[in-house]
Amino acid sequence: MPSQVFIVGTGGTIAGSAASSTDHVGYRAGAVGIDQLVAAVPALQGVPLAFEQLAQLDSKDMDFGTWARLARRVQALLNDPAVQGVVITHGTDTLEETAYLLHRVLKPAKPVVFTAAMRPATALSADGPQNLLDAVSVARTPGVQGVLMVFGGAVHRADRVRKVHSYQVQAFASPDGGPVALVESGSLRQLAPWPAGDGLGAERLPLEGAAWPRVELLWNAAGVDGAQVPLLMELARREGRRLGLVVAGTGNGTLANPLEAALREAQEQGVAVLRSTRCAAGPVIGGELPSAGALSAPQARVELLLQLLMK
């Protein structure tokens, strides 16, 4: 029986350090080691755990190479018969992107559980220790599988979760469908089936950032004219990189006429286009340019990166 939970530290506010215990914003993310984060949770003593520091980043600076290393490492841990589940500590800011990436490239028969915090480890009332404990509880619960995110007592699917607040402790939600489970004093109450993952293959993600395609995020808004589309095409041509354009449309994914015309023209010339919505919840409905469904715009960008990489 696999019995070990393996924790992979990547940085974030959960590993943040501030000069004062009342400072929730003027801190350095990715400063406290994963060993110290684990040691700060007395309830984890005696739990069969191993941990390593894969990165120590403020997740606003997450990069393609770190994504590739993380995905490959988690796949290797999943292959290890001693490992029951994997926990990943991560910054909140790009967590929905990293979690979606892993959901698409892995197909875990075990739990892969992201967690994070809104307050640094040095805060008077830090949320990280409880989130870490809850994540380990989920990773140790028999039968759980798929890429998940545990935060504030809720368990979210990696492909539905979004950061919905810039400061409050309850910063994550799954706007379409709600969480898949709740963690209540260490016990799991399941509300929906676990996600399966798509298994595209972690080893197919290039370790070298320059080998990834250029995928840019555009927004529909009053007065946009699509002028950046040919400029981006020219840039990608000069770089010799494949180009993808994700557009966060208004409402159900609508686009101003000049922007839509520019994107259609780009598509005809071989640029991959994907349409998301700038709304906080709800899917793209209707329209002709390809739809990202209910993915957030940053997740749609991950999707288009993968589509171009896996072609």
Nearer to ligand SIN (CB atom), residue 62 or residue 297: 62
Residue 190: which H helix or E strand, with range? Answer: strand 187-190
Nearer to ligand SIN (CB atom), residue 58 or residue 303: 58
Token pair, residue 89, equals 């500590």
Q: Whole-number minimum distance, CB 46 to ligand SIN, in Å?
A: 28
If one asks whether residue 298 binds ligand SIN (CB under 6 A), the answer comes out as no
Nearest Cα to Cα of residue 90 among 116, 65, 64, 121: 116
Q: Is 94 a catalytic residue?
A: no
If one asks whether residue 93 binds ligand SIN (CB under 6 A), the answer comes out as yes
Q: In whole angstroms, what is the distance from residue 258 CA to residue 11 CA?
A: 41
Within residues 15-74, the interface with ligand SIN by CB under 6 A covers 29, 58-60
Nearer to ligand SIN (CB atom), residue 172 or residue 194: 172
Nearer to ligand SIN (CB atom), residue 24 or residue 103: 24
Catalytic residue (one of 10, 13, 92, 115):
13
The count of C-alpha atoms lying within 13 angstroms of the C-alpha of 91, restricted to the half-sphere facing its C-beta, is 22
Nearer to ligand SIN (CB atom), residue 59 or residue 277: 59
If one asks whether residue 5 binds ligand SIN (CB under 6 A), the answer comes out as no
Percentage helix, strand, coil for the chain under 3-state DSSP, each rounded to 5: 30, 25, 45
For residues 52-91, b (16+ Cβ closer than 10 Å) or e, as one string? ebbbbbbbeebebbbbbbbbbbbbebbeeeebbbbbbbbb
Among 75, 92, 122, 291, binds ligand SIN (CB under 6 A): 92
Contact range with ligand SIN by CB under 6 A, out of 9-17, 229-237, 249-257, 282-290: 9-17
Amino acid residing at 236: A
The pattern of x and - marking residues 111 through 130 that bind ligand SIN according to CB under 6 A reads: -----x-x------------
Among 4, 13, 130, 296, binds ligand SIN (CB under 6 A): 13
**Count of residues interacting with ligand SIN (CB under 6 A):** 12
The pattern of x and - marking residues 232 through 271 that bind ligand SIN according to CB under 6 A reads: ----------------------------------------
For residues 129-155, b (16+ Cβ closer than 10 Å) or e, as one string? bbbbbbbbbbbbbeebbbbbbbbbebb
- The residue at minimum Cβ distance from ligand SIN is 91
Q: In whole angstroms, what is the distance from residue 44 CA to residue 133 CA?
A: 7
Residues lying near ligand SIN in the complex (CB under 6 A) are found at: 11-13, 29, 58-60, 91-93, 116, 118
Catalytic residues: 13
